């Protein structure tokens, strides 16, 4: 107990960071009908009424977010309704404890609340490392992940220009859309050290420009560039061959898709991304390869070329676990064979694990997956 207590105190001490370290607003929950928060010596601010109240000792505070309170008079865009903070540095929501400030936002239509954690960037990273990787992994792998995740978050902060989008009022989501973060007790001694040892370090492109550092679970043999997956070009990215992840994590996978289901998915992709539509309801796939980032097929006498990543975006990861796959048409269905897990761009987490086990330090790991980027300390 003595050792654990000292470790928890060290986390709180480490979070009392200098003002130079920025804070991020992280969406941690969506569409809540009722919110119950608890803490010691809480300071509650109701922003819609411009009222602040302080409670002595331990206090539980409830918010009713269900409709029925003249919601038609509230703005259509989300607004900051209330916020809570505690001098102890911890606020409880359910079984989780959070550092920083907890904020309640209205949702579009004002039928529920979203929950946002306003937290120093380094404290945020210490919870994230246990979720995006594993808090017990080799320290050099965790350091590489810390730099990549910090770069992604820092890029979001720069793009906001210090001003939050009125349609969101937060910088990041705690989800696969951005980065999955945790709560206070997800911090381990290793994640704390990984944050401390790389504090303020990010990676930048050849020109020195900050751009998002993407990462994924397992590339399956080759990483992809952002333009191969989402269509947007990010400076400095290259596709690299990676053999380090192949013997660990999720094995090669196989899926079967009925022809009519594929036709429906392809039709949606064409309409959304290409402003095209099918000429016929039967597709004829052209020969495919694992290394192709696009699928070629005929609809009637018209040739269509579709990015595999666009197809995965609509089909979902349960149908297509990665963007690294090959399709073959046979006996009324589509056979899909693939490798890896995730979008495949940037840092391969299982590859980083293997590299760390082989003695690579975090800078060497990042140099392998981001060969044209360089390190920069921003605070």
- What would the pLDDT profile of 346-364 be if each residue is shown by its tens digit? 999 999 999 999 999 999 9
Measured from the Cβ of residue 294, the count of other Cβ atoms closer than 10 Å reads 14
What was the pLDDT predicted at 74? 56
Angle 128-320-31 from CA coordinates, rounded to 5° = 50
pLDDT greater at residue 4 or residue 224: 224
- Residue 202 has φ and ψ, to the nearest 5°, of -135, 175
What was the pLDDT predicted at 75? 64
Stretch 140-157: mean pLDDT, rounded? Answer: 97
Beta bridge partner(s), residue 255:
336
Say if residue 167's pLDDT is above 50: yes
Say if residue 7's pLDDT is above 80: no
DSSP per position, 41-64: S-EEEETTTTEEEE--SEEEEEEE
Go through 132-166 and write b for each residue having 16 or more CB atoms within 10 A of its CB, e for each that does not.
Answer: bbbbebbbbbbbbbbbbbbbbbbbbbeeeeeeeee
Say if residue 40's pLDDT is above 70: yes
- Residue 285 has φ and ψ, to the nearest 5°, of -75, 140
Tokens of 62: 């409830």
Would you give the DSSP letter of residue 343? -
The kind and range of the H/E element at 351 are helix 349-357
Stretch 283-311: mean pLDDT, rounded? Answer: 92
| HEC secondary structure over 190-227 | HHHHHHHHCCCEEEECCCCCCCCCCEECECCCECECHH
What does the alpha-carbon distance between residue 74 and residue 330 come to, in Å, rounded to a whole number?
56
DSSP per position, 238-306: ---B--TTTTSSSPPEEEEEEHHHHHHHHHHHIIIIIS---SSS-EEEPP--TT-SEEEEEETTEEEEE
Stretch 47-52: mean pLDDT, rounded? Answer: 93
High-pLDDT (> 70) share of the chain, %: 91
What does the alpha-carbon distance between residue 93 and residue 118 come to, in Å, rounded to a whole number?
14
Would you give the DSSP letter of residue 341? B
Stated pTM of the model: 0.89
- From residue 305, alpha-carbon distances to 45, 77, 283 in Å are 54, 38, 12
Stretch 76-88: mean pLDDT, rounded? Answer: 90
Measured from the Cβ of residue 349, the count of other Cβ atoms closer than 10 Å reads 25
What was the pLDDT predicted at 9? 46
DSSP per position, 120-158: EHHHHHHHHHHHHS-TTS-HHHHHHHHHHHHHHHHHHHH
For the ranges 15-19, 25-29, 254-258, the lowest mean pLDDT is seen at 15-19
Would you give the DSSP letter of residue 184? G
pLDDT greater at residue 60 or residue 108: 60
What does the alpha-carbon distance between residue 221 and residue 232 come to, in Å, rounded to a whole number?
22
CB 125 within 8 A of CB 176: no
Contacts of 311 (CB under 8 A, 6+ apart): 265, 266, 269, 295, 320
Q: Note the pLDDT tens digit of each residue in 227-284.
A: 999 988 999 999 999 999 988 888 899 999 998 899 999 999 999 999 998 887 788 9
Tokens of 90: 């911890």
Which sign does the torsion angle of CA 137, 138, 139, 140 carry? negative
Stretch 307-321: mean pLDDT, rounded? Answer: 92
What was the pLDDT predicted at 95? 94
What was the pLDDT predicted at 86? 95
What was the pLDDT predicted at 19? 47
- From residue 320, alpha-carbon distances to 47, 62, 214, 296, 348 in Å are 44, 41, 19, 17, 18
């Amino acid at each position: 107990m003595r050792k654990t207590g000292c470790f928890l105190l060290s986390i709180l001490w480490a979070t009392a960071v200098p003002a130079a370290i920025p804070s991020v607003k992280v969406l941690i929950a969506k569409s809540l009908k009722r919110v119950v928060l608890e803490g010691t010596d809480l300071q509650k601010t109701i922003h819609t009424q411009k009222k602040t109240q302080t409670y002595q000792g331990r206090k539980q505070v409830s918010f009713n977010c269900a409709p029925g309170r003249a919601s038609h008079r509230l703005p259509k865009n989300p607004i900051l309704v209330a916020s809570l903070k505690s001098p102890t540095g911890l606020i409880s929501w359910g079984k989780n404890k959070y550092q920083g400030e907890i904020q309640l936002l209205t949702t579009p239509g004002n039928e529920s609340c979203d929950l946002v954690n306003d937290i120093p960037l380094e404290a945020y990273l210490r919870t994230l490392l246990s979720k995006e990787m594993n808090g017990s992994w080799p320290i050099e792998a965790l350091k590489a992940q810390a730099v990549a995740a910090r770069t992604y978050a820092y890029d979001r902060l720069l793009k906001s220009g210090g001003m939050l989008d009125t349609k969101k009022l937060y910088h990041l989501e705690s989800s696969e859309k951005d980065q999955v973060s945790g709560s206070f007790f997800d911090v381990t001694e290793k994640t704390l050290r990984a944050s401390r040892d790389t504090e303020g370090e990010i990676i930048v492109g050849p020109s020195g420009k900050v751009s998002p550092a993407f990462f994924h679970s397992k590339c399956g043999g080759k990483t992809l560039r952002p333009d191969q997956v989402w269509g947007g070009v990010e400076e400095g990215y290259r596709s690299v061959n990676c053999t380090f992840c192949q013997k660990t994590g999720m094995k090669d996978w196989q899926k079967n898709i009925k022809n009519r289901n594929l036709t429906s998915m392809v039709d949606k992709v064409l309409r959304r991304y290409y402003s095209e539509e099918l000429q016929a309801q039967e597709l004829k796939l052209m020969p495919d390869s694992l290394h192709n980032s696009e699928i070629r097929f005929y609809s009637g006498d018209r040739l269509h070329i579709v990015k595999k990543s666009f197809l995965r975006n609509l089909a979902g990861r349960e149908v297509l676990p990665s963007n690294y796959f090959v399709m073959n048409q046979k006996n009324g269905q589509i056979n899909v064979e693939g490798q890896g897990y995730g979008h495949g761009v940037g840092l391969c987490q299982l590859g980083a694990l293997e590299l760390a086990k082989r003695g690579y330090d975090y800078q060497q790991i990042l140099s392998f997956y981001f060969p044209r980027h360089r390190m920069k300390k921003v605070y």
